[in-house]
Chain A
Amino acid sequence: MEPPSSSGSGNAGPPRRILRTAFRSARTLWGVLRANPLTLVGFVLVVIIGLAALTMVAAPHLLTQYNPRQLTGDYSASPSWQHPLGTDTGGYDIFAETLYALPLDLAIAFAIAGAAMLGGGALGLIAGYWDRPRSVGGAVSVVILRITDIFLAFPSLILALAIAVSLGRGAWQLIVAILVTWWPYYTRLVRGETLAVKHLPYVTAARAAGVTEPRIVLRHVLRNVLEPVVVYFTLDVGTVLVTLSTIGFVGLGLNYPQTAEWGSMISFYQTEGLITAYPWTVFGPGLAIFVTVLAFSLLGDGLRDVLDPRSRRVLAGAGVGGPSSTSPQATELSAEPVGVVPVVPVAEPAA
């Protein structure tokens, strides 16, 4: 069957259209994953971790025979078949505790990165789209950008720690503390992308066709901004996890013996002085953090490479093109992107 033209898609009902879109996305994803074996490894790991988290929510006994708070009778046992990550001095199974912490850690990381993406991204969209000087929108966007600049000046971990100590311990406090420091990266990213997209001919065409401004933003600009944001989000989940666990390690996260969370577990066993005598108590949760973050980073870094026009051009073997006119900062989605100072405008490179 011929693919319907853009105007006459009436014969394909919504379900079929969704199916076709899904199929096309899957094919694109497969193309991206195939480009670099490491990206594929990251993707597989992320899928496994996601499935494990779902299993731990739905049917935890499939993965581990112990409860996190179950006295196994084996004290300070080194890793074995029965206790893959050993037990601690209280006789608790480290593997079970680590697995039980997985859904919680992932949920908090996704909550923070997701909320930062939605909130920070919305601000960036506003600041990027309505930035005409001497208009209400322009004034609003200047205010947004100034506030973003100030928040970007703080090393996020440090500010998050200071807020966490002000708010006290708990899951919600933890989310708020990190979120406060996390949104500006998305604001800056989305604003940059919006600025690049909004002057493209198709946006002008949509406006000429009489499409209303909010509709242009939501349907035409947002859709093209989405791709880099989602890629950044993939990488960001890992970064949030590291920050989250560092706050736990400092002792400001969740209260470990009550709630299992990787950073807090490490903090607990480290302050108990168990790390030298029974290193597996710390390596269990540490390995969990490492593998999870590595999985998201492998996937995100690979996706980012495909998205980066410079690498794409070279990797595609079409490295004959003229000099790129993009400034490095405009396209680079550095994972620790902290720029207070506005990006220096770069002229067209001399040919």
Chain B
Amino acid sequence: MGRSLSDLAIFIAKRLLQLIPVLLGITIITFFFTHISVVNPCAAWYPHQPIGSPVTAHCEAQFHQPIQDQYYQYLTNLLHGNWGSSVSAVPVYPAIADGLPATLELVFASLFLMIVIGIPLGVIAAAAAGRWADHFVRIFYLTGWATPTYLGAVIAAIYVGPYLGLPSGGEYSALVPPFHQYTHMSILDAMIALNLPWTLDAIRHLILPAAVLAFINMGIATRMTRSSMLEVLPLDYVKGARMKGLSEFWVLYKHALRNALIATTTVLGLTAGGLLAGTVVIEEVFRWPGIGAYAYTAIGGGGAIPNFDGAIAVVAVFAVGVVVANLIADILYGLLDPRVDWR
């Protein structure tokens, strides 16, 4: 069984190679739904240009080319970082490059909450399977599941935020002056500026949006932990740990959870799709300057003029994000589970 370092390199290289067709496929699908399914693309893309203007004429000329030429051009532009611009001529690429770190910060913060809260809840539910604690946990995560993201975000911003004294919009309060942001992650930037009040301010601003995002996606972590704990608990080694006289807490969290976590890790990687999709509405409601809010406006949310270039780019970036998250989960699974052969 191959589990040496060179085998690990092969394992990761194989996964990376499998990405190539998926990435190509993503561009084909985004291209199809934005270039071909639109009835009259030029009119839709440049709604404020008079018919026959240079911009529309250029666009028309592009759409008269053969489809494979159009796709080739789209792909080369994509690879050159030339992602087009919005109707008001704001280029797409810098906007996304600035917004992505902020979105990642939000996603990682809610992932952290899902791990810290969701996994222990799953353990509690499994230990009390079929009893009231189990039902309570189930109601908790299904409530999150059944809450539409926007409703949860709006309620949190209007009612929960003021009640808890938490800010419900933006990255910093007005007392923080604009300063140079190296990473575009609010907490990290404040830490780089070596300013403790700013850092605390940034953390306070992150709590609500991250909590809503985590609450809505909590079910996946909790459910998976509960179900893999149920698988592990009847095993002999757990009984052995109990017979040794270890405390129930120690048995559950040290011995049983350790094995149950392998499956949960994979599933957490698979929540990337849900988390990224959630940012679209949450960032808009909480005025978080990430690509989710950018996507919301690009798609024409709230009555904005759709920005097709931006929408295509964001969809592709999100898809790549999901693929990378799955890749990481897959590699982590290979690392954590000693039964996986790396060759």
Q: Which residues of A contact B315 (CB under 8 A)?
A: 154, 158-159, 162
Give the distance in Å from the alpha carbon of A255 to the alpha carbon of B149 in the complex.
20
Whether B130 sits at the interface, judged by CB under 8 Å, is yes
Contact assessment for B224 and A334 in the assembled complex, using a CB-CB cutoff below 8 Å: yes
Using known A-B contacts A162-B30, A297-B145, determine if residue A350 contacts B233 with beta carbons closer than 8 Å. Answer: no
Known: A151-B29, A301-B142. A329 touches B266 (CB 8 A): yes
Answer yes or no: A271 CB below 8 A from chain B CBs. Answer: yes
User: Interface SS of chain B: helix, strand, loop or mixed?
Assistant: helix
CA distance A314 to B315 in the complex (A): 42
Assembly CA distance A147 to B139 (angstroms)? 36
Which residue of B21, B37, B142, B158 contacts A167 across the interface (Cβ within 8 Å)? B37
A15-23, A119-127, A201-209, A320-328: which one contacts chain B?
A320-328
B266–A154 touching, CB < 8 Å: no
Point out the residues of chain B lying under 8 angstroms from A271, CB to CB: 302-303
Closest residue to B155 on the A side, CB-wise? A286
Complex interface bits, B308-343 against A, C-beta within 8 A gives 1, otherwise 0: 100110110011101100110110011001011100
- Given A289-B148, A328-B224, A340-B323, verify A314-B266 contact (CB < 8 Å): no
**B122-147 interface code vs A (CB 8 A; 1 in, 0 out):** 00000001100001001100110111
Residues of A within 8 A of B271 (CB): 336
Docked complex Cα distance between A291 and B280 (Å) = 23
Q: Is the CB of B314 within 8 A of A341?
A: no
How far is B323's CA from A54's CA once the two chains are assembled, in angstroms?
A: 42
Number of B positions contacting A (CB below 8 A): 83
Is A52 part of the contact surface with B, judged by Cβ < 8 Å? Answer: no
CB <8 Å contact, B326 and A341 = yes
Q: Which of B33, B34, B231, B273 contacts A336 (CB 8 A)?
A: B273
Question: Which residue on B lies nearest to A290, using beta carbons?
Answer: B146
Q: Which of A153, A342, A350 is most buried by chain B, counting CB atoms within 10 A of its CB?
A: A153
Q: How far is the CA of A172 from the CA of B54 in the complex (A)?
A: 35
Classify the interface of chain A: helix, strand, loop or mixed. helix
Inter-chain contact A251/B145, CB cutoff 8 Å: no
Q: Which of chain A's residues have a CB closer than 8 A to the CB of B219? A: 335
Q: Is the CB of A166 within 8 A of B319?
A: no
B146 and A161 contact, CB distance less than 8 A: no
Interface string of A294-309 (1 = CB under 8 A from B): 1001100100000010
Instruction: Using known A-B contacts A155-B274, A320-B234, A328-B228, determine if residue A294 contacts B143 with beta carbons closer than 8 Å.
Output: yes
> What is the distance, in angstroms, from B244's C-beta to the closest C-beta of chain A?
19
Q: For the complex, what is the distance from the CA of A157 to the CA of B224, rounded to whole Å?
A: 23
Q: Is B51 part of the binding interface, using a Cβ–Cβ cutoff of 8 Å? A: no
Count of chain A to chain B residue pairs whose CB atoms are closer than 8 Å in the complex: 231
* Complex contacts, A342 vs chain B, CB 8 Å: 18
Contact A252 B299 (CB under 8 A): yes
Bound state CA distance, A155 and B204, in angstroms? Answer: 28
Q: How many residues from A make CB contacts under 8 Å with B? A: 78
**Chain B residues in 8 Å Cβ range of A297:** 142, 145-146
- CB-CB under 8 A from A249, the residues of chain B are 148, 150, 281
CA distance A167 to B158 in the complex (A): 33
Name the A residues within 8 Å of B147 (CB-CB). Answer: 290
10 contacts between A and B (CB under 8 A): A153-B26, A154-B26, A155-B322, A166-B37, A249-B148, A334-B220, A339-B326, A347-B340, A350-B339, A351-B236
Contact surface of A with B, Cβ cutoff 8 Å: 36-38, 146-147, 149-151, 153-159, 161-167, 180, 238, 242, 245-246, 249-252, 263, 266, 270-271, 275-276, 279, 282, 286, 289-291, 293-294, 297-298, 301, 308, 310-311, 313-315, 319-321, 323-324, 328-329, 332, 334-342, 344-347, 349-351
**15 further A-B pairs in the complex, CB-CB below 8 A; given A271-B302, A289-B148, A334-B224:** A150-B25, A161-B295, A161-B311, A165-B311, A166-B44, A242-B149, A246-B281, A249-B150, A249-B281, A250-B281, A250-B300, A282-B154, A286-B151, A334-B220, A339-B326
